[in-house]
Amino acid sequence: MSTLLAICFVIVTIAVAAIAVATILVMQKFRKASEEFGRLAADGREWIHQVKLVTENAGDVVNTFQEVAPRLRRVVDRIESIGERTVDLSDAVLHEVETPVRTAVAVARGARIGALRLVELLTERFTRRSSYNGDIEYE
């Protein structure tokens, strides 16, 4: 039985050695994985820091916009008021000036057409050679 015990002892020793080697390999892989997780955690911390900076800057932008927004609104209101006043002024000028100008243009056209017609009639009368004998007109 001592041979059988020696064989079992050798098998157990090989098994323990194999378990030890497997444990060492697993530990090395675990160490590599933990180092990778450590690097990932460092990158994550850096990203979180950058995100914090971005959110702080965004907060500053929002605060600045909150300060500037009322001023911009007042400027827009002023521009709107000026626009409305300009429209009202142009409307008033149009109503106050357009009607008299149209009347003057109509009178000028009427006078021109009347003068042309008078000139035509006078020209026709003086250039036409016809004798007038009573109510009958002869040429």
Host H or E run for residue 138: strand 136-138
Q: How far is CA 46 from CA 35, 50, 53, in A?
A: 17, 6, 11
Return the DSSP state at 136: E
What SS3 state is found at 134? coil
Q: What is the pLDDT of residue 96?
A: 83
What's the average model confidence in pLDDT over 79-100? 86
Query: Distance (Å, rounded) from C-alpha 54 to C-alpha 52?
Result: 5
Count of beta carbons in the 10 Å neighbourhood of residue 135: 5
CB 137 within 8 A of CB 130: yes
Q: What is the pLDDT of residue 53?
A: 92
In the structure encoding, which two tokens stand for residue 109, read together? 């056209």
What's the average model confidence in pLDDT over 24-49? 92
What SS3 state is found at 129? coil
3-state DSSP helix/strand/coil percent for the chain, to nearest 5?
A: 90, 5, 5
Average pLDDT, the chain: 87
Which tens digit of pLDDT belongs to each residue from 4-29? 888 988 999 999 999 999 999 999 99
Phi and psi angles of residue 68, each rounded to the nearest 5 degrees, phi first: -85, -30
Q: What is the percent of the chain with per-residue pLDDT over 90, rounded to a whole number? A: 47
